[in-house]
Copies of this chain bind each other. A is one copy, B any other.
Amino acid sequence: MNTDLYDVIHRRRDVRGQFTGAPVPDDTLHRILAAAHAAPSVGYSQPWDFIVVRDPETRHRFHEHVSAERDTFARTLTGEAAERFARIKIDGVRESTLSIVVTYDPTRGEPAVLGRHAIADTGLYSACLAIENLWLAATAEGLGVGWVSFYREPWLAELLGIPAGIRPIAWLCVGPVTHLEKVPDLARHGWRQKRPLAEAIHAERWRPAAD
């Protein structure tokens, strides 16, 4: 197990196609959920929850829904983009060992969430920080993770009995993989390439694109 942070950060991939379906030991699952739960959160609100989904029927139903949403997106594309998209696998819901659905509860820590009064979305941001911790820990453990976002939130809330007011943030496919690709899928398929880091860094103030 290579747990060097930088190695993990740069090896991590969004996995769709390399899941083996092999078991995830309970202690491994516990370590990656504990890593997620150690994330920073606004006002220490820890507004996340983790629903571990193994049931094949639930995952089958979700996959059907994702496939329909895939078609919805495909219909917005034409020409080369449509051809490229047709070759891209967008989920490993059925092939991965299990899924983890991460939710956000805006009432956690209320009435006064320290640091959230000016920006309501900071609670949502906290849940995302937990997701990245989970993703890196899973990568260190030799597991792949794939974030599926081709779904409608109310549909998923209904599927898993998530109460009104609590928001599903991510469906993560998790499990052992044959390998992690060196290059992200969307770059390999010519969908988008890596942006140069230098373009993303600005000194002191925003640098207009014309510079």
Contact = CB atoms under 8 A, between A and B. Distances in A.
Interface of A: 3-6, 8-10, 12, 14, 31, 33-35, 37-40, 42-46, 48-55, 58, 69, 72-73, 76-77, 81, 85, 88, 90, 103, 109, 112, 114-119, 121-122, 124-125, 128-129, 131-133, 135-137, 140, 147, 149-153, 160-163, 166, 169-170, 184, 186-187, 191-192, 194-195, 197, 200-206, 208
Interface-central residue, A6, A42, A77, A103, by most chain B CB under 10 Å: A6
A122 B8 CA distance: 23
14 contacts: A5-B5, A5-B8, A9-B136, A9-B137, A34-B197, A37-B197, A42-B149, A44-B187, A44-B191, A49-B201, A50-B202, A73-B114, A119-B151, A166-B206
Given A118-B149, A163-B206, 18 more contacts: A4-B4, A6-B137, A9-B133, A34-B197, A37-B200, A40-B135, A44-B187, A51-B202, A51-B204, A72-B117, A73-B112, A88-B114, A90-B115, A109-B192, A118-B152, A119-B149, A125-B169, A161-B206
A134 B204 CA distance: 18
